[in-house]
Amino acid sequence: MFHVVTGGAGSGKSSFSEDTICRYYEECKTDGPTGNLIYIATMIPYGDETMEKIRRHRSMRAKKGFSTLECYTDLEHLTESELFQSDNGKSCVLLECISNLTANEMYEPEGAGKYAAEKILQGIEKLRKVCSCLVVVTNEVCSDSVRSSKEMELYKKALAEINRKMAEDADIVTEVVYGIPVTIKMKESSYMGKEKEFTEKKTLYMVTGGAYQGKRKFAEKLYGNPQWEDGGACPLEAIYTCEGIYHFEKYIRRMLEEGNEFEGLAKNIAQKNPGLIIVTDEIGYGLVPIDAFERRYRELTGRICTEVAAYSCRVDRVVCGVGMPLKGDR
């Protein structure tokens, strides 16, 4: 089984991927002896921001039974680890993530440089041979409008080449949109098990997509003409009384700029203003911003919108004015 998981920043890819490989592992054990449950970490620990991300990911996978291997370059060589040499059978592996691994191979002194894509794809092919189930997490970084430097264009091209080849070979390709898994590709007889259920009461309605795609107009077709508030300008407390809010991503930015608390925001909205229609721009695709505030804003928006989607009865994504239900009535 080869499963590729992609999506934007803060979209819930990691949580979905961990749940998925753990489910595969349990199902493999019912079929007979199975090797180890392995997590391959590719992020180099440097600086407070990166260390905080690493701590968060370690906390997420704690008590799930993972054996962790750190691999910053030369993925192919990693398969020689004794963790893959189990007498019980082949292991189940989660590799996170390809975007970090690509940057490492291109820019670290011991990396493959201009041969990064080729080197990584060779490593993935080797991994597939030594494990029973492989889940690989990657990122979509080519959907932004900002002109990149020549160096960054080379990085995007390399990552896109890897993503295309992985998707071509994969049994399943899933895009995670605000915590909602959208199946892009699935070979017959590939699916294993059921998705994890969200048990909280769902009371919100959400419409997302890129800028200028006709999201609010689409929302009005579905839900009539609610009393709208502009998230970029309305009083912050208006979200608990209005019928609809657009530019929710700007509302989050204002809260961040003013130093407000975000813990439980989605749950509070769902409880205090059930039936609220939330329209938001998807800002998590594209390259990671250089500015620290912009990085935090992008990541935080993804995580909050993932929570909002979990509390929503229906979630739609709008592209060129055309809506596609991701959750709820289809």
Please state which CATH class domain 204-327 belongs to: alpha beta
Q: 296: which 2 tokens?
A: 């935090």
Q: For residue 34, name the pLDDT band (cuts at 50, 70, 90).
A: confident
Which pTM value belongs to this model? Answer: 0.77
Respond yes or no on whether the N-terminal peptide bond of residue 97 is cis (omega within 30° of 0).
yes
Residues sharing a CB contact under 8 Å with residue 327, sequence separation 6 or more, in sequence order = 180, 309, 312, 314, 315
H or E element that contains 205: strand 204-209
Residue 185 CA to residue 100 CA, distance in Å, equals 24
pLDDT surpasses 80 at 145: no
Please report how the helices 116-130 and 98-107 are oriented relative to each other, as an axis angle in degrees rounded to 10. Answer: 130
Residue 84 CA to residue 97 CA, distance in Å, equals 19
Query: pLDDT tens digits for 69-120?
Result: 999 999 999 988 888 877 778 899 999 999 999 999 999 999 999 999 999 9
The angle subtended at Cα 20 by Cα 18 and Cα 24, nearest 5°, is 120
In the chain, residues under CATH classification 3.40.50.300 are: 2-186, 204-327
Q: What is the mean pLDDT of the chain?
A: 90
Q: 10: which 2 tokens?
A: 């803060």
Query: pLDDT tens digits for 3-31?
Result: 999 998 889 999 999 999 999 999 988 88
Closest CA to 2 of 187, 197, 275: 187
CATH of domain 2-186: 3.40.50.300
Q: What is the pLDDT of residue 192?
A: 56
Q: What is the pLDDT of residue 63?
A: 85
Query: pLDDT tens digits for 275-327?
Result: 999 999 998 887 788 888 998 999 899 999 999 999 999 999 998 888 999 99
pLDDT surpasses 70 at 197: no
Strand order in the sheet with 228-230: 228-230, 244-246, 277-281, 204-209, 312-319, 322-327
**Number of helices (H), then strands (E), in the chain:** 10, 13
Q: What is the pLDDT of residue 234?
A: 97
